Amino acid sequence: MLAAGFGFRLDPLTRCLPKPLVPFWNEPVLKRLLRQLHAWGVRDVLINLHHHPGPLYDFIRTHAGRLGLQVACSFEPEIAGTGGALRHAAWFFDNNPFWIVNGDIVMDLDPHPFLSCMARHAAPAVLWMTDQAGPRTVQVEQGIIRRFRGGSPDQPGSFTFCGLHLVAPEILACIPHASFSSIITAYENAMSAGRPVRGVCVPGSFWADIGNPGQYRTAHIQALQEQRFNLSIQAVRRHLAKTCPGVLADTASAIHPGARVGQGSIVQRSIIMDQARVSAPSRIIDSMLAPGVHVRGTLKGVMALPVQAMNPAWPDQIRRGLHVNPDRCWAEPLDLRGSARVFTRIRSPRGSVIHVQYSLERPENARFVPNARFLYRHGIPVPRIRWHDPASRELLMEDLGRNDLLTHIQSKGMRAVESAYRQVIDGMIRLHRLAKAARSEHLDLCPAFTSTLYRWEHDLFLTHAVATRPDIPRIDRTSLRRDLNAIMRRLVVQPRVLVHRDFQSTNLLIRNHRIYLIDFQGMRMGPALYDLASLLEDPYARLPETLKTALLTYWCEQTAQAGDTAETAYRYAAVQRLLQAAGAYGRLGAMPGTRRFGEFLPPTLLRIGELLSTLPALNALKTLIRRLA
């Protein structure tokens, strides 16, 4: 059983407990797997350990005998991969086939199709496949695996490997001798030697990968709907009535018997783990409460953990920065923002703050706190800094809530949207007028907009939005650079003010009818129209053309700019800004934690094309954008 992994996709829950011990309908996944293996006739099990080995070892020592199994552990000081784990465990195997199972899957199936397939074909390995779920990257033809990579859900013969193998001992000779290796490499070596690896689908089976929080919650509902593992609506109702009387909990919620939920609370589609506490009255909706966490209030779509589980140093930081008892606080990890920073909301009976752990991989992150204090002194609404430790690169800042400008305008009519954007533009102009103060106070800003920075943005676009598209014919680089330089020359002559550089809807938070600016670590001197284009051409908000025109006119009136001249300059600034955005979306869309940003690349390219159609010349760039879009 493979149980050494770090559980990154379920982080930070896996900081509290290793992934195989995560509960599934109130029972650890590991225990379910061991019980099922025992039902198949397995009596000897070897489990490899690396991440959080102590809790796993303690669990195995306590429960293995009760389950009728002899369980040994193989600790890996350095994680060895699925192939390396088998090579280290060679002592465990005899001349008979053996099972390999991932320690983080939930399964319910008949093992006989594997056994009969191996007996019939003398296969070196038989792998469990499904064509109903997962990434479906494995290519299978007539039961023989042809390729482990390259398939896709829309291709016939594409399957997902479910993490269960029946393996013949001969496969051990195919494992590479490297310190780290994958079992897939061993299978590919066997296939290259003329020993085909087989794949089987098992009708009527159940498989769930609890890789990330969404999959984890969905698996609970799926198992209940299919009435797997003796689950039923009636059984869940009886459990809830016994475990948490006086609590209004739906049957899609798994509440551990060791949890305490205050009477009068409401729980919907949520998972509440052992030793978690919910003070009444609370509303817990679409959320996960980790072991030992104590919460109160309304939680919606939240993973809640004890603060010490996130970082053992946090309780002391909370005492010094917030002057509250950390035992009465809990942590809510927030989505990655693609800026080498990790955000966590810390909630307490006295309110909440945002904890930020930043990396100097992006040097501008070190400027966030000085910039925040400068802007606050000059009356720009920004979050207040509550505590900062430059040595550990951590800070606590005021929590302004979740209501950003993008969310705010979704339910508003056009008149209210225009009013909100006018208020934002007023704040933008006040920011731009702080250039003199920034210079006199020697504020350490990011490098100003010069030809160097404009070219860097062009390279970002070419690297991450163009070079990643092999379907695009070769382009005339000389002509393209000439067009990009023409845009740059239009902008370098613009007056420089203090610009935010990423002035878009999700960097503007609204609280108590006041609009606050965030993510200002990249402030620098540059053209005011770059910020205005960031706001009006925001791919997230996609404002109507009529509104953009009205807001551009409003900006011209407030800054005494000539309309015709400003409109032309604005279009060049908008193209430049969106080229930078397209490069950023391409880069973030290729990274596992931020793939969602990739969906904004196509509309950004379309908008660049629309803007270019209003400008003269630039034919090479226009041709490229047409091909990309």
Q: Which domains does the chain have, with CATH numbers?
A: 8-212 (3.90.550.10), 214-218+228-398 (3.30.200.20), 405-628 (3.90.1200.10)
Instruction: List, for residues 367-405, the tens digit of each pLDDT value.
Output: 999 999 999 999 999 999 999 999 999 999 999 999 999
Q: What is d(CA 463, CA 198) in angstroms, rounded to the nearest whole number?
A: 40
Q: How do beta strands 44-49 and 70-75 pair?
A: parallel
How many residues make up the chain in this entry? 629
pLDDT at residue 19, rounded to an integer = 93
Instruction: List, for residues 212-267, the tens digit of each pLDDT value.
Output: 888 899 999 999 999 999 999 999 999 999 999 999 999 999 999 999 999 999 99
Q: What is d(CA 97, CA 394) in angstroms, rounded to the nearest whole number?
A: 51
Report, as an integer, the average pLDDT of 26-47.
97
Torsion sign over Cα 357, 363, 369, 375: negative
Name the burial class of residue 598, with classes exposed (0-12), middle (13-18) and buried (19+) by CB atoms within 10 angstroms of its CB: middle
For 294, phi then psi, to 5°, come to -125, 115
Contact indicator for 315, 326 with CB cutoff of 8 Å: yes
Count CB atoms within 10 A of the CB of residue 621. 25
Please report which helix (H) or strand (E) contains residue 71, including its range: strand 70-75
Instruction: List, for residues 79-103, the tens digit of each pLDDT value.
Output: 999 999 999 999 999 999 999 999 9
Report, as an integer, the average pLDDT of 161-172.
97
Q: What is d(CA 67, CA 571) in angstroms, rounded to the nearest whole number?
A: 70
DSSP helix/strand/coil, 439: helix
Instruction: List, for residues 528-546, the tens digit of each pLDDT value.
Output: 999 999 999 999 999 999 9
pLDDT at residue 338, rounded to an integer = 67
Above 90 in pLDDT, residue 583?
yes
Q: What is d(CA 236, CA 246) in angstroms, rounded to the nearest whole number?
A: 15
